[in-house]
Structure 1
Amino acid sequence: MTNGQDAWIRRYRAAPEAPVQVVCLPHAGGTASYFRPMAKGLFPAAEVLAVQYPGRQDRIGEPCITDFEELIERTFAAVRSATDRPVALFGHSMGALLAFEVAGRLEACGAAPTALFASGARPPGLPLDRSGHTATDDELIAELAALDGTDERLLQNEDMRVMVLSALRADYRMLESRRPHGSAVACPVVSLTGDADPVVSVGEAGGWADHTTGPFDLHVFPGGHFYLGDHWAGVSAAITQRLGRPAPVRAG
């Protein structure tokens, strides 16, 4: 196992010549390996760095983080340590909210991201349902099945099921510490969502426009909360399109 900040970052397809690195932040209960298809889809135009939170996969021996502010600060530190080129941030669901906060900290230290991609998430100004961590195992399994974001084979294996549900419940508990706010970043923001997402409406996904003073785009794909599984190519194309457009120069 890697140590220190290196424990946080996975490179599934190195692209040392790529002009930009895209840091991907997983959903609640999610893992870095979820973004393997994106690493393939963006190669060689961009190098994907996927964040691995404590308490899952090869970090299963570490305790999950229980405070959202701590997750922000530790992820920010890992991103600063691991990146050596212009950076864009891509987060799905909980990861989008985390990416927004990390983007703000990058801007504050003079290392503004080239873009923020917020996938499958309500904007930071809206509250979340914070009751998930009190659900029974059966209720969580039913939720995962409804969202179609977890390989059923993992849930059929008792040991894997325990690990998946433990991480998910811990992340839900952590999100209790998050407070909605109306701040904005200056970098371009791209919101991506599924047209049948039971968690995020298309209108809510469009609300990310209120959280940037820069350009905003909305991409709607067929599918539910985990629409990405059927649209990695389209998502990669949307990312490449945005990264290929320079942000406007601001007066003053």
Structure 2
Amino acid sequence: MSFAPWIKYLPGPHERRRTAATVIFPHAGASAAYYRPFAAALSAAADTFTVQYPQRAERLHEPAPQTVHDLARGLFEAGPWSSAAPLRLFGHSMGAIVAFEFARIAEQNNVAVQKLWVSAGPVPSHIAGLPELPTGDEELLADLADLGGTDPRLLADQEFAALLTNAARCDYQALNRYSCDATVRIRADIHAVAGRQDHRVDAASLRRWANHTEGRFTLSFFEGGHFYLNEHVDTLASRVLADVC
């Protein structure tokens, strides 16, 4: 079995001893292409995969998953992840939840997860208690503009905005249906990371990720907002590869 063509693979330097492969899980509305610079930085030292969600790019016409768990299950079933294990998972924003669910499924199937990096992501057991994310076109665009990370000129382009809102709506709907019990834990260590000026997450909420691991929990910050990672691509990649907190 080979990986689905929509899983973007960048091989690491195979002349070295193989280390844990990194799997990137994008934020809501994003395509795998958004994370190309980060994936390239990670692949300098290890195999790197970036997953593509339905309803965008080459998966544009695939049906949207009903739940985050369905999304994670589809991503897990899209390739022989045991052949790339151990895995290092990195999810940003909503991608942190998708990566968490992917980790649960991987561990249930005896695929080793070395570490889960949750970047600016809401805590699984607290999502059901949060206000629902918007799904109307205007509200969605306003929410995406508030988050940052997308060039305002692109948001003003009707064709691009239509594609973006459709993808984000599908992701938001799946997240609105999500719930996770406070007792659910993975075996892998969890490291939470975010921007110091992120108005969507804070240190107190990020520390609650500690409740979802049986392993070690660590936390760190970079300067910047919700999309801090765009300003710290190389440094963040180096820390992930070295598992430096």
TM-score between the two structures when normalised by the length of structure 2: 0.89
What is the CA–CA distance in structure 1 between the aligned matches of 2:163 and 2:82, rounded to whole Å?
27
**Residue ranges of structure 1 left out of the alignment (5+ in a row):** 246-252
Cα distance 1:130–1:53, how it changes in 2: closer, same or farther (>3 A)?
farther
Match of 1:249 in 2: none
- Alpha-carbon deviations, 1:110-159, whole Å to 9, x = none? 21211111111122111254532444x33322222221121223222211
- Where do 1:136-147 residues align within 5 Å? 137-147=137-147
SS of residue paired to 1:46: coil
Match of 2:157 in 1: 157
Cα distance 1:171–1:229, how it changes in 2: closer, same or farther (>3 A)?
same
Superposed displacement of residue 44, structure 1: 2.5
- Alpha-carbon deviations, 1:25-56, whole Å to 9, x = none? 11111111122112222232112100001110
Q: Is the 8 A contact 1:154 1:160 kept in 2?
A: yes
Question: Which consecutive aligned stretches of 4+ in structure 1 deviate over 3 angstroms post-superposition?
Answer: 79-83
- Give percent identity, aligned residues only: 34
- Alpha-carbon deviations, 1:211-244, whole Å to 9, x = none? 111122211111111111111122112202218x
What is the CA–CA distance in structure 1 between the aligned matches of 2:189 and 2:132, rounded to whole Å?
32
What is the CA–CA distance in structure 1 between the aligned matches of 2:167 and 2:174, rounded to whole Å?
10
Cα distance 1:45–1:223, how it changes in 2: closer, same or farther (>3 A)?
same
How many residue pairs match? The answer is: 239
- Alpha-carbon deviations, 1:165-197, whole Å to 9, x = none? 011111111112211322111111111111121
**Residue ranges of structure 2 left out of the alignment (5+ in a row):** none
TM-score between the two structures when normalised by the length of structure 1: 0.86
Cα distance 1:30–1:82, how it changes in 2: closer, same or farther (>3 A)?
farther
Letter in 2 for 1:22: T
Match of 2:222 in 1: 221
Cα distance 1:49–1:35, how it changes in 2: closer, same or farther (>3 A)?
same
Q: Give RMSD over aligned pairs.
A: 2.1
What is the CA–CA distance in structure 2 between the aligned matches of 1:38 and 1:134, rounded to whole Å?
29
